[in-house]
Amino acid sequence: MIKLLDNWMIESTMNFNIVVGITMAIYSIALIIFLFVWNKIGERDERTIVLHLKIVSFMFFSQIFMNTLFITWVDQEIVYFRQFILLFQGLVILAGSINGVRLYKKEFKAL
């Protein structure tokens, strides 16, 4: 699948720009959600530090998982490997944002 996407991006600059646009949209949406939830959790105290650490540790482990996928799926002939790195990084931030929303709803709904 990665090789097909790379070949599709090589065909024209419009295809490349579509992938870059989708990646930037994922980044933007994920960062907005992440910062919103991070600020919504509030000031640092005993309870919020645990939530922050859970979100960051989830993002760390998803980053390790995405790096493993990148190493196993992307071969040496890939031309636009940097775009795949950025796409995987955007997915990591999106996963952290979704996990932050889930933890926020679970923690503050109980109050």
pLDDT digits (tens, 9 = 90+) for 18-42: 999 999 999 999 999 999 988 888 8
Quote the pLDDT of residue 98.
94
For the chain, the distance separating the N- and C-terminal CA atoms, rounded to the nearest angstrom, is 45
Q: Please tell me the distance from the alpha carbon of residue 19 to that of residue 76, in angstroms, as a whole number.
A: 20
**Whole-angstrom Cα Rg for the chain:** 17
Q: How many other C-beta atoms are found inside a 10 Å radius of the C-beta of residue 54?
A: 14
* Residue pair 76/13 in contact by the 8 Å Cβ criterion: no
pTM of the model: 0.82
Q: Please tell me the distance from the alpha carbon of residue 10 to that of residue 66, in angstroms, as a whole number.
A: 23
> Angle CA(68)–CA(89)–CA(12) in degrees, nearest 5?
100
pLDDT digits (tens, 9 = 90+) for 5-23: 888 899 999 999 999 999 9
